[in-house]
Chains A and B, each alone.
Chain A
Amino acid sequence: MSHHGFGPDLAEVFGPSQQDGGPELVQLLTPEGERVHHPEFDRDFSAEELRGFYRDMVLTRRIDTEATALQRHGELGIWAQLLGQEAAQIGAGRALRPQDYVFPTYREHGVAYCRGVDPLNLLGLFRGVDHGAWNPNDNNFGLYTIVIGAQALHATGYAMGIQRDGDVGTGDPDRDAAVIAHFGDGASSQGDVNEAFIFAASYNAPVVFFCQNNQWAISEPIERQSRIPLYQRALGFGFPGVRVDGNDVLATYAVTQAALQRARDGQGPTFVEAYTYRMGAHTTTDDPTRYRLSDDVENWKLKDPIARLAAYLRRNGLAEDAFIDALKVEADELGHYLREGCKALKDPEALSMFDHVYAEETDEIAAQREGYAKYLASFEGSHA
């Protein structure tokens, strides 16, 4: 049944809609919090690692809910929520090494957090005080990219640079590097993304294409972008594709880690499809009730990435009260930091808009800055 109501009946082509991601889905932790094993991607996790994932997801969700609230209070113009995608982002983010490089889209708040980007810095773009406050080279975390899919090519080119520097396949874990490109299911339709696949395959570039298939591109369902499971596309471009449960932080970590290692070892690109769901709206300006069924949302709530790890931790006695309490305090502190910090973000000086248009400023820009400064000065006194 094509519940989105267009096109031929998808069920006839692929069988019943697979909200569970299908048999190919790599999973290490079920929605009920049961640990399951996988022949290829399984690995052991220490108690500390597991608690670390949990903490990361809780804090990431706090960043998101806090920013959403700040938008509602008029402190941010807009916010792109990640509710439900915490596991996909933490799994991918924690699989990175310092020398790896991230090319994010505009929703990678969890990955940014893993890279050590001050979460306050994420707010500037959405508040309208800058186009991105962090230095991409401080944490090897690029600026957010709003034009859908553009960064897939940048990631590939950067990976080709790593190759030329000889920083792949040396066997030195501190040297070999990989690149990860984040994008959504909608982005998979862009020419840029498909061209990135071709370059990456053709040059065997050390890049991982990490797609969070959250089922929706604003109002367009995944069926509008692809008639086959997305991960299967990779094969057509000549590199492996894996579909992982994006609500399972352990599986996402294991799969991404393996893909990054392939890249660092010089074995070329991998496509990772993190199968997940956008629990909230596309952004704070979107109204999903116009196009999607609340049944689906309810269904996906049962797969919440944080609840499932919590269940596992509790069942195995890994989350004592002290840990939970300390985390709660930490999350509240983070919330407070973001609230106060956001309100304190200053509007830029008007004349700063002329800065950095070029690395080598032109006389024309200098003259325009000067002219505008004089113009502003002409109001002083008169309007005050």
Chain B
Amino acid sequence: MSTTKITLAKGLNMGLRKAMEDDPKVLIMGEDVGKLGGVFRITDGLQKDFGEDRVIDSPLAESGIVGTAVGMALRGYRPVVEIQFDGFVYPAYDQIVCQVAKMSYRSKGRSKMPMVIRIPFGGGIGAVEHHSESPEAQFAHTPGLKVVACSNPVDGYWMIQQAIASDDPVIFLEPKRQYHADKAELDESATPDPLFTSRVVRAGTDATVLAYGPTVKTALKAAEAAATEGKSLEVIDLRTLSPLDMGPVFESVRRTGHAIITHEAHVNLGMGAEVSARIAEECFYSLEAPVLRVGGFDIPYPASRIEEDYLPDLDRVLDAVDRSLDF
């Protein structure tokens, strides 16, 4: 077994490269993805090696990028679209929600949409407005789209390849603050978990903490801190937001009786609302406390200097854990 230590940015870059090598129909499209390698350098070097017809520097037009990707997909290609920042996906929202999401349904399955829309998402990088958004619920609420969020380098490598291989359109959320944060060992010969599955990333017995994308790290830190106080938290990385993989969640909550979900997005009508409703439906008699949600407030992302007050952190997760256990 040979492993390499990689960042999330590197994992995604390697995964994209592998997908392009494996399938000549895979294309990359977006603003600055070619010569510059993307503003986060996720596509670094790909245009050099695969050419300008496969790594396509596009005009500054998100609706145009996604709309032409629809046409490319109809022609048998597998476009991987990069949206530069989460806040700039909205000009393409109409194409994604009205066209990409419905193509399979309206054509009775005759037209597939094997498209991946990569979106760097979430806060914590101190950016100006529109560069920190958490739009996942908007897409997860749209039937016809699949939505996943990676949280670590190894998942980045595998999940991007799996998303590209999927015949359905996948909104692929990348926690931008994690791009260069931590390194992990990648074993390219390993067999990854299937794409649309959640995973227990830390075993525990007292309470279940659910997270995805950037808050997985927060949840793991909270679990570490809780352990020093003798509390054992189980942490589950949801990984897939639509479809949700609730099996491991139900199993865990039935054991612990306590569930807390944390995400950066606004709590109102966020992913936590759906997850907690499902837990309530399935695990009602095992619950010893209501499912608690720890997320962003129902305000636009504030100026970056007070962003840390908006974003759920370790203390807010621990506070919720305490409230749940004290219930």
* Residues 22-62 (chain B) with a chain A CB within 8 angstroms: 31-32, 34-37, 39, 52, 57-61
> Is B130 touching A146 in the complex (CB atoms < 8 A)?
yes
Query: Is B310's CB within 8 Å of the partner chain A?
Result: yes
Q: Kindly list chain A residues whose C-beta atoms are within 8 Å of the C-beta of B31.
A: 217-218, 220
| Distance to closest chain B CB from A246 (angstroms) | 19
A286 to B298, CA, bound (A): 32
* Chain A residues with CB below 8 A from B88, complex form: 147-148
CB of B305 closer than 8 Å to a CB of A: yes
Q: Judging by beta carbons under 8 Å apart, are B302 and A129 in contact?
A: no
Q: Which of A125, A353, A354, A365 has the most CB of B within 10 A?
A: A353
* B209 to A: closest C-beta gap in Å: 18
Tell me the minimal C-beta distance from B315 to chain A in angstroms: 8
Which residue, B303, B304, B307, has most C-beta atoms of chain A within 10 A?
Answer: B303
Q: Of A285, A347, A357, which one neighbours B305 at CB under 8 angstroms?
A: A347
Residues in chain B near residue A364, CB distance under 8 A: 268, 298
User: Which residues from 89 to 136 on chain B have a C-beta closer than 8 Å to any C-beta of chain A?
Assistant: 90-91, 126-131
Interface bits B283-327 vs A (CB < 8 Å: 1, else 0): 000000000000001111011111101100001100100000000
CA distance A285 to B303 in the complex (A): 19
**Of B34, B60, B315, which contacts A148 at CB under 8 A?**
B60
Does A240 reach chain B (CB closer than 8 Å)? no
Bound-state CA distance A1–B126 (Å) is 41
| B305 adjacent to A354 (CB under 8 Å) | no
- CB-based nearest A residue for B51: A6
**Known: A368-B298, A372-B297. Contact between A348 and B128, CB under 8 A?**
no
Known: A191-B91, A219-B35, A290-B36. A78 touches B127 (CB 8 A): yes
The reply on A384 being an interface residue by CB < 8 A is no
Q: Which residues of B contact A357 (CB under 8 A)?
A: 298-300
A126, B303: Cα distance in complex, Å: 10
Bound CA–CA A322/B319 (angstroms): 66
In chain A between 350 and 373, which residues have their CB closer than 8 angstroms to a CB of chain B?
350, 352-354, 357, 364-365, 368, 372
Interface residues on A, range: 35 or more
Q: Does B204 contact A (CB under 8 A)?
A: no
Q: Does A348 lie within 8 Å of B303, measured CB to CB?
A: yes
Q: Would you give the 0/1 interface string for A274-298, flagging 1 where the beta carbon is closer than 8 Å to chain B? A: 0000000000011100110000000
Q: CA separation between A330 and B242, bound complex, in Å? A: 59
Residues of A within 8 A of B248 (CB): none
Complex alpha-carbon distance, A127 and B39, angstroms: 20
Q: Is B142 an interface residue (CB 8 A)?
A: no
Contact of A189 among B52, B61, B305 (CB under 8 A): B61
Query: Given A125-B128, A217-B60, A348-B303, are A146 and B91 also a contact pair (CB < 8 Å)?
Result: no
Please determine whether B298 and A352 come into contact, CB atoms closer than 8 angstroms. Answer: no
Distance in Å from the Cβ of B305 to the closest Cβ of chain A? Answer: 4
Chain B residue nearest to A130 (CB atoms) is B303
Q: Is the CB of A218 within 8 A of B306?
A: no
What's the minimum C-beta distance from B327 to chain A, rounded to whole angstroms? 17
Interface residues of A in 282-317 (CB under 8 A from B): 285-287, 290-291
Expressed in whole angstroms, the Cα–Cα distance for A365 and B302 within the complex equals: 14
Q: Is the CB of A220 within 8 A of B303?
A: no
Residues of B contacting A125 in the complex (Cβ-Cβ under 8 angstroms): 128-129, 303
Interchain CB contact under 8 A, B306 and A146: no
A43 within 8 A of B: no
Cα–Cα distance between A34 and B309 once the two chains are bound (Å): 57
Return A217 CB to nearest CB of chain B, in Å: 5
Q: How far is the CA of A349 from the CA of B306 in the complex (A)?
A: 8
Contact of B36 among A218, A354, A375, A379 (CB under 8 A): A218
6 contacts between A and B (CB under 8 A): A5-B52, A191-B63, A352-B302, A353-B306, A354-B299, A357-B300
Closest 5 CB pairs of A and B: A128-B304, A186-B60, A219-B36, A353-B302, A189-B59
Give me the interface of A with B, judged by CB distance under 8 Å: 5-6, 77-78, 106, 124-131, 146-148, 186-187, 189-192, 217-220, 224-225, 285-287, 290-291, 347-350, 352-354, 357, 364-365, 368, 372, 375, 379
A220-B60, A224-B57 known, 18 other contacts, Cβ within 8 Å: A6-B57, A131-B129, A146-B87, A146-B131, A147-B87, A147-B88, A147-B91, A191-B63, A192-B91, A219-B32, A348-B302, A352-B302, A352-B306, A353-B309, A354-B299, A365-B299, A372-B309, A375-B316
